[in-house]
Amino acid sequence: MSKSETHHFQAEIQQLLNIVIHSLYTDKEIFVRELVSNSADACEKLRFTQSSGQPVYQSEVAPGITVTTDDKADTITITDTGLGMTHGELVENLGTIAHSGTKAFLKQIAEEKKPDVGLIGQFGVGFYSAFMVAKKVTVLSRAFAPDETGWQWTSEGMGGYELAPAADLPRGTKITLELKDDAKDFAKESTIERIIHRYSSFVPFPIELNGKRLNTVQAIWARSKNEIKEDEYNEFYTFVGHDHDQPLFRLHFSADAPLAIQALLFVPQRNFETLGMGRIDSEVNLYCRKILIQAKAKGLFPEWLRFLKGVVDSEDLPLNISRETMQDTTLMQKLNKVLTSRFLKFLEEQSEKEADAYGKFYHEYQRFLKEGVVTDFTHKEALGKLLRFESSSLDKGKLTSLADYVQRMSGGQKEIYCLLAANRESAEASPYFEVFRERKFEVLFLYDAWDEFVMEHLHTFDGKPLKLAEKAELNLSAKKENALSEEASKSLAHWLKETLGDKVNEVRASQRLVESPAVVVDADKFMTANMRHIMKAMKQDGPELPAARHDLEINPAHPIMARLDAMRQKDAALAGSVAEQILDNARVAAGLLEDPRAMLTRLNQLLEKVLTKD
């Protein structure tokens, strides 16, 4: 038997170890993930070796991983029954640097002189991460070939390592870490259990910690859909979603181009943001070949999809340089685009195939889709297809898509009309709705204060401009009987402007009113009453909003107008009061009257007059 040999580390390894040992690395726990991943790789390689028919020592021993902690001796041991390492491999793998990523890392540090400890995380330091927590590392390994023997590799992380023969080893590798004083927490079972649970739950080989099996949930996303039972999906969702309800939607898909992706995504039954839990974070974890790269991966989906839960696994992630932080943003953007488009396509399919479930989804999550329309130019169009609104052509409570609205548009109609209102009743009673009802143009009823922003951002749908009813330039199809003549209406309008003074910008006869005597419209087409309310609510110390300027449009066919016209000759004072009241009534209809007290005083005076008339 050969005796113990002393080896020096390659200069670069020493450099790397110095950084690992002396830097205040915050996430020391990743050493567990690195060592468990190495063991899993060794198990995978063994499986491959076996399947290729090569003779394997102790071939009856299945590949697996065992972790033991000892909080008396302050050690943690990670053992695998993988393919092990020969003498040559121990020298090669645990004493030199083969990976370009690690080399690049070292080069960067050399150039920057001052090592940025945060960078270590970007380049998985693999096996050497053990030295963050261990004062001494012992590796016992026996390679798979029947004629091999075992070896013991030991190092204290400085200078080099010892290699000595070790007799009677089982196949595989056993790594024991004697923990530093400040790392003794890692000898605790509960600590290690938490770490393995976090990073290595889906390692495809059994992991036992102190005799207890840890990873019982499979990485089902990597299996083919038709092999997976409903129960398995639900169990998986409970596991990744921390939610005991069943998901509302599930999307399981894989793609090869432009990126290799396997994804299993869930939409929870309930929108946790409206449950008073504040802003939620996406709970989609990013994996590379079943090893966690990033929990709740930032940037994987756009913000407005933050309600999603699940996993995305991509083999295209640069595993060799990073298991910790996905820093390659172009790759992340690519992933984001592919995943988002796929999910939107899925939602569109569901809206057709599973209308009820989609309805529920829409009810819970419409605000997120609308946020997307407003903030995400790339997916605006696809999002537009997913929006749903009540409409004047459908019963209360029924929703339509913009596409279906366009289908129903009559020949002469060129725009999609939308009316902002508090609810169905006030939409139908709105003076702005009258012309549409009369001309039989369908109007979408928008009850969400933010819908105005949404429609403004969406701008068009299927080439048709989206138009707010109050800004639409439409006239009634036919002139009404008993209406004031054009001349009389002009003169009345002129008198009204004189009487009302600065309270209105302009007064004119309207061609779009049927039942209402008058309506106010924004003179600048600058801001609707709804938008004004939102801006007011949001405004804190910003500049004052420009004062609203409104035009008053009067209905020449309304009996009030005819009588007012007569009254202004007989009793100018009373006519003046009525004119003011007409303006205030129109403001009320538009949701613009802020202080109704002055109006009430006037209204009482008018009532008094009416009642004292003989």
138: contact with ligand ADP by CB under 6 A:
no
68: contact with ligand ADP by CB under 6 A:
no
The CA-atom distances, in angstroms, between 276 and each of 243, 246, 270, 448 are: 16, 20, 12, 19
85: contact with ligand ADP by CB under 6 A:
yes
86: contact with ligand ADP by CB under 6 A:
no
DSSP 109-152: HHHHSS--GGGGGGS--GGGGGGGTEEEEEEEEE-SSTT--EEE
- Shortest Cβ 29–ligand ADP spacing (Å): 16
127: contact with ligand ADP by CB under 6 A:
yes
For ligand ADP, the binding residues in 317-336 under the rule CB under 6 A are 320
Contact 402/386 with Cβ under 8 angstroms? Answer: no
Out of 19, 21, 42, 373, the residue judged to bind ligand ADP by CB under 6 A: 42
- Shortest Cβ 140–ligand ADP spacing (Å): 10
**Sequence-separated (6 or more) residues with CB below 8 Å from residue 282:** 296, 297, 298, 300, 301, 305, 306, 307, 308, 309
157: contact with ligand ADP by CB under 6 A:
no
Out of 66, 68, 86, 93, the residue judged to bind ligand ADP by CB under 6 A: 93
Region binding ligand ADP by CB under 6 A among candidate stretches 49-57, 121-129, 274-282, 327-335 = 121-129
Region binding ligand ADP by CB under 6 A among candidate stretches 79-87, 196-204, 230-238, 418-426 = 79-87
The CA-atom distances, in angstroms, between 179 and each of 21, 70, 71, 195, 443 are: 12, 10, 10, 16, 71
For ligand ADP, the binding residues in 237-276 under the rule CB under 6 A are none
- Taking the C-alpha atoms of residue 554 and residue 496, their distance in angstroms, rounded to an integer, is 10
- Shortest Cβ 43–ligand ADP spacing (Å): 8
Nearer to ligand ADP, 100 or 605 (CB): 100
- Taking the C-alpha atoms of residue 147 and residue 166, their distance in angstroms, rounded to an integer, is 14
Region binding ligand ADP by CB under 6 A among candidate stretches 31-39, 289-297, 306-314, 507-515 = 31-39
Nearer to ligand ADP, 126 or 268 (CB): 126
Residue of closest CB approach to ligand ADP: 126
- Taking the C-alpha atoms of residue 506 and residue 519, their distance in angstroms, rounded to an integer, is 12
- Taking the C-alpha atoms of residue 440 and residue 279, their distance in angstroms, rounded to an integer, is 42
79: contact with ligand ADP by CB under 6 A:
no
Nearer to ligand ADP, 39 or 401 (CB): 39
Region binding ligand ADP by CB under 6 A among candidate stretches 34-42, 375-383, 498-506, 605-613 = 34-42
- Shortest Cβ 92–ligand ADP spacing (Å): 8
Contact 73/36 with Cβ under 8 angstroms? Answer: no
Nearer to ligand ADP, 127 or 453 (CB): 127
Q: Which of 556, 575, 553, 566 is nearest to 482 (CA)?
A: 556
Residue positions counted in the chain: 614
152: contact with ligand ADP by CB under 6 A:
no
Total residues at interface with ligand ADP (CB under 6 A): 14
Element (H, E) at 166: strand 160-166
Locus of tokens 């080069």: 107
Q: Which of 282, 75, 95, 42 is nearest to 186 (CA)?
A: 75
| Beta bridge partner(s), residue 201 | none
HEC profile for 379-416? CHHHHHCCCEEEECCCCCCCCEEHHHHHHHCCCCCCCE
Nearer to ligand ADP, 83 or 421 (CB): 83
Out of 29, 80, 313, 390, the residue judged to bind ligand ADP by CB under 6 A: 80
- Taking the C-alpha atoms of residue 468 and residue 63, their distance in angstroms, rounded to an integer, is 66
Interface positions with ligand ADP (CB under 6 A): 34, 38-39, 42, 80, 82, 85, 93, 99, 124, 126-127, 173, 320
